[in-house]
Amino acid sequence: MKIKEIVRLLEADVLTCENLLDSDVYSACGSDMMSDVLAFVKDQGVLLTGLLNQQVVRTAEMMDMRCIVFVRNKRPGQEVLSLAEENGIVLLATAERMYEACGRLYTAGLIGGCTKPANTD
């Protein structure tokens, strides 16, 4: 799925790296616990969270994630925006709650815990 499709599905605002909206992502994770993200998430994913600190961006960078979606109308401060921009991570903000946002993405075909689309042979 392209990040621009996530923007459409979640009616999200693009906060950083608008030039990367054509990037592909293959999996998603919703969590406010960065330790769970480090333990269970694969690369090329999307992180949905309500946390607004720099650790969210640093965790996404470590896990080779390309996009962070802030849920519940939360907006990060300038230091988080700058760090994401420096690392080429798209930041989005949506009014949706995490449960609803994850459900929309899952229903649209974005899966959890996989780095590539399933083999359909």
One-character DSSP codes across 73-90: T----HHHHHHHHHHT-E
pLDDT band of residue 88 (cuts 50, 70, 90) is very high
Over residues 10-27, the mean pLDDT reads 96
pTM equals 0.89
For residues 71 and 38, the model is more confident at 71
Q: DSSP secondary-structure letter at 72?
A: T
**3-state secondary structure (DSSP) of residue 110:** coil
Alpha-carbon distance of 67 to 94, in angstroms, equals: 13
Q: What strand order describes the sheet that includes 45-49? A: 13-14, 90-93, 67-70, 45-49, 27-30
| CATH class label, 3-107 | alpha beta
Residues 21-37 have pLDDT tens digits of 999 998 899 999 998 88
Average pLDDT across the chain, whole number? 90
Residue 42's pLDDT band (boundaries 50, 70, 90)? low
CA distance 108 to 37: 22
Query: Cα–Cα distance between 32 and 34 in angstroms, integer?
Result: 6
